[in-house]
Structure 1
Amino acid sequence: MRKIAIITFMWAVAVLKGTAQQAPPSNGPHNFSLQDCINYAYEHQDSVKNAKLDITSADYKVKETKGQGLPQVNGTVSFQDFLKPPASVGPNFFNPPIDPNAPLVQFPFGAVKYNNTFSLQATQLLFSGTFLVGLQAVKTFKELSERSLTRSKIQTNVAVTKAYYQVLVNNEQIRLLDANINQLKQQVNETSQSNKQGFVEKIDVDRITVQYNNLVTNRENVSRSLALGYAMLKFQMGMPIAEELNLTDKLGDVNLTQSVAETAVDTTFYRNRIEYNLLETNKRLNELDVKAKKADLLPTVSAAAGLATVFQENHTRYLYNHTYPNSYVGLNINVPIFSGFQRSSKVKQAEIEVQKSNNMLNNAKNGLELQATAARVTFVNSLKSLDNQKRNQTLANDVLRVSRIKYQQGVGSSIEVTQAQTALETSNNDYIQALYDALINKVNLDQAYGRIK
């Protein structure tokens, strides 16, 4: 019970701190199965919605990278007013022979005062090893975003499932409390009547009344926890807290048998884990980074062309009377020759990142296998505990029934009945805790073996 109370309190903190943008309220109550809740969360939970936006962003990243291979066109407009035009100087060719030691002379022509230029330049990448590798990298980057979406869905699935099971357990706890309260209320009435008739002492009535009051208070507490559990479930789903939600699944619908843990021997089950898939994608990105660094050693070839129109005049009123057009086409080849060993050092660094990725994959494989083994053992243990608590429940009910018969026949004491009632309440609480543990451990087991998609 204490464990469930702690978890419920943590959920309350999460709800209060949650700032997620939730779906707008809708009309009417929602009658949802567990799968309905999960599907709703896939559409409305902000973490999933953000992961979907990351995929859209990755699509634009692919288009951005592809755009580098398309023609690049730029236009330029410039205007210059030479407050003091630059002079043209050179040797005096007009008075030969030319003396190399003679001072330079200024020619009577130079830059005009006003200059207005309109130009258009275009370049086309013809070959770039880095660009080709970049195309592969952005596709892998998009795959990383898609796998991140899968991880968000799995995390949402797990959170919603656990919250759903919490509500089912609280409902079961209320059912047991109601049954005990009804039985104890009847016993209180019978004992009070016997006391009035002088068959039992008032202390017997007081003992039973104390137990009854405690049960009623406990029931009220669990009822409030149930309301909080519904709020937490709706929070995990991305549903407005004010919405009305009814659960259609029952505890009996959950397969809590040891067959769930008896999986076929599969030494590659870890490949079903999205965590391992993400590390694989990250490794491929590191390998592409090595290829990109090596591609820096290859030449880059691009074509270029340009058009320009120049207007020049010493007076603005004549500036646009005459034009001086020019154009060009060309080919640019950039050949890396020597960079002070920088490129080779970058390649070595990238290769080290690939080695680290391999180490992380090996460590993740071992860690996931350990997690799966631990989840399987924990689930089997929780099933054993649940079965044991069910038997204890049956025994406690039998003990209470016999104690009441003995007390009614005058061969037993009220203390014996009180102790039996307390033992039943304890066994019910232990059963509820064991039931909750079994449900949560089942979710952990499914997640450990990659069954949640």
Structure 2
Amino acid sequence: MRRIWTQIMKKKMLLALVCFIPFHLLAQQPQQWNLRDCIEYGLKNNRNGVVYDNDKKAADEKAKETLSAYLPSLNVTGTFDDNIRVQESVIPAGLFGPTPLKLAFTQRYNTNGLVELDQTIYDQSLLIGLKANKYSRQQADLNIKQSQETIIYNIGNDYYQTYVYREQLRLLKGNLEIYRKQMEISTLQVKKGVALQKDLDKVTVNYNNAVSQIRVAESSLTLAQNQLKYDMGYPINSELPVDTIAQQNLSNPSAADLAFDEFSAENRTDYQLSQVNFKLLVIDQKRIKAGGLPTLTGYAKYGAVGFGNTLGPSFNDLNPYSAIGLKLSIPLFNFYKRNAQYSQAKYKSLNAAENLKLDSGKYALEYQSAKTKMVKAQSNLESDKRNIELAESVFRTTDFQYKKGVTDLTDWLDARNSIKDSQNNYLNSLYSFYQAKLDLEKASGNLKSFYTSL
């Protein structure tokens, strides 16, 4: 009975181990990163995000600083004077006697404590300045948005470039394997005396060229991967396994949807920033003009003053005083300075308005150019894909003829080189296509929509 129980327990443990191993292996597999994953990680970890987030916090604190100018301020001051030689005043002769009379209106030690409350009642320039807080916050938010769009664009460009180099390596290794097999065939033919050494040398040269090209492609791939990690804020020395399964769809990109809505410059974040800057300049212009208006301030103060020829009475025998009042300030003789400042602000706002019109035309031109490049890139990509298929068809025929002895090695190598040229053209068109796609999304102001739709 005990032996049977032991066998049952062993079977259960073995079954549990078999069930656990697949999950353990699955947990050890590295995370596969697609384009959306890379962008999402970059938006959270790129250091530029920290910089612009701090700028937003600084804008919030600036708004508090502006608001504080219209809040009550309470100041406490205290002074202590040691009049080593007390100043005397002279009363002219004839008022209190025939000779001038010297009198001191203070004593050697003098203390004064004061608590003063000030409250701005009316200051038009401050009221106008408070309106700038809204646009300063908008400016900070737009800077964050623009930074995010830059991150999306850079990571997208790096990701597509990484894919193109991987695709190049795949094609080059395929070419290398074909040259290797042909080298083996040519080596046997030379040994049997049915082929010349120069034929083997020709194939060897192409094989060695393919090896060199693979080394260059591997180096370019490493640089592209490091650039992708940098723009993501990912550790350079850590492995970043890009999702090769999702990349299979990249090799056959779908036709670009060029039916965008009617272009509007206001979709561009940089144009929105220019609009906010223009509004801030208009507010600054009004604020300077309002600086010529009177300001009204209310105040209340309470203090105590003490005098004495020794230290004790100056601190112990204090005489309190208090006052409340209003202060009206009317600027009269700073007209020329204020007028010059106003004129400068006016011309800046006029230039900003003109720049908005220029930017509107410039961004419309960028959109049309990006759209044209996208159409051309798509056409080139489709043409180069057909050329690869045609070159491979020609090579299959030439390879069959070469094996049958109908054609020579030169034709075989020429057909193979045609495939290599078609592959290079295809890779260039593939990268140009994805770059044009990103440029079009950027020009239309849809980079964030592009990211969310992945």
Q: TM-score, normalised by structure 1?
A: 0.88
1:386 aligns with 2:381: yes
1:216 counterpart SS class: helix
Which runs of no fewer than 5 residues in structure 1 stay unpaired?
Answer: 1-26, 97-101
User: Which residue identity is paired with 1:356?
Assistant: N
Structure-2 residue corresponding to 1:375: 370
1:332 aligns with 2:332: no
1:105 aligns with 2:106: no
Given that 1:70 and 1:124 are in contact with CA atoms closer than 8 Å, whether structure 2 keeps it comes out as yes
Would you tell me which structure has more helix in proportion to its own residues?
Answer: 2
The separation in 1 between residues aligned to 2:307 and 2:391, in whole angstroms, is: 107
The separation in 1 between residues aligned to 2:164 and 2:445, in whole angstroms, is: 25
1:202 aligns with 2:197: yes
Of 398, 401, 417, which aligns to 1:403?
398
1:32 counterpart SS class: coil
1:263 aligns with 2:260: yes
| Aligned-pair CA distance for 1:30 | 4.3
1:346 aligns with 2:347: no
Query: What is the 5 A alignment of 1:86-165?
Result: 86-92=87-93, 95=96, 104-107=100-103, 109-165=104-160
Given that 1:171 and 1:226 are in contact with CA atoms closer than 8 Å, whether structure 2 keeps it comes out as yes
Summarize deviations over 1:397-416 as a string: whole Å, max 9, x none.
12222221111111101111
Change (3 A) 1:372 1:103: farther
Structure-2 residue corresponding to 1:172: 167
The separation in 2 between residues aligned to 1:177 and 1:299, in whole angstroms, is: 79
1:247 counterpart SS class: coil
Of 210, 217, 229, which aligns to 2:224?
229
| Aligned-pair CA distance for 1:76 | 1.2
1:200 counterpart SS class: coil
Given that 2:90 and 2:102 are in contact with CA atoms closer than 8 Å, whether structure 1 keeps it comes out as yes
Summarize deviations over 1:43-68 as a string: whole Å, max 9, x none.
11111210111001111111111111
Change (3 A) 1:28 1:240: farther
User: Which residue identity is paired with 1:106?
Assistant: K
2:112 counterpart SS class: strand
Of 346, 357, 366, which aligns to 1:362?
357
The separation in 2 between residues aligned to 1:440 and 1:427, in whole angstroms, is: 20
The separation in 2 between residues aligned to 1:204 and 1:376, in whole angstroms, is: 49
Structure-2 residue corresponding to 1:82: 83
Given that 2:306 and 2:313 are in contact with CA atoms closer than 8 Å, whether structure 1 keeps it comes out as no
User: Which residue identity is paired with 2:351?
Assistant: K
Ranges of 4+ aligned residues in structure 1 off by more than 6 Å: none
| Aligned-pair CA distance for 1:442 | 0.8
Aligned residues: 419
1:106 counterpart SS class: strand
| Aligned-pair CA distance for 1:28 | 8.6
Structure-2 residue corresponding to 1:12: none
Summarize deviations over 1:280-319 as a string: whole Å, max 9, x none.
0001001111221221122211111112122210012443
| Aligned-pair CA distance for 1:251 | 5.1
Structure-1 residue corresponding to 2:14: none
Of 272, 275, 292, which aligns to 1:277?
272
Structure-2 residue corresponding to 1:220: 215
The separation in 1 between residues aligned to 2:317 and 2:114, in whole angstroms, is: 16
Change (3 A) 1:189 1:254: closer
Given that 1:38 and 1:161 are in contact with CA atoms closer than 8 Å, whether structure 2 keeps it comes out as yes
Structure-1 residue corresponding to 2:288: 293
Change (3 A) 1:304 1:382: same
Change (3 A) 1:201 1:240: same
Further displaced range: 188-197 or 442-451: 188-197
Structure-1 residue corresponding to 2:72: 71
Change (3 A) 1:162 1:300: same
Q: TM-score, normalised by structure 2?
A: 0.88
Given that 1:29 and 1:244 are in contact with CA atoms closer than 8 Å, whether structure 2 keeps it comes out as no
| Aligned-pair CA distance for 1:255 | 8.3
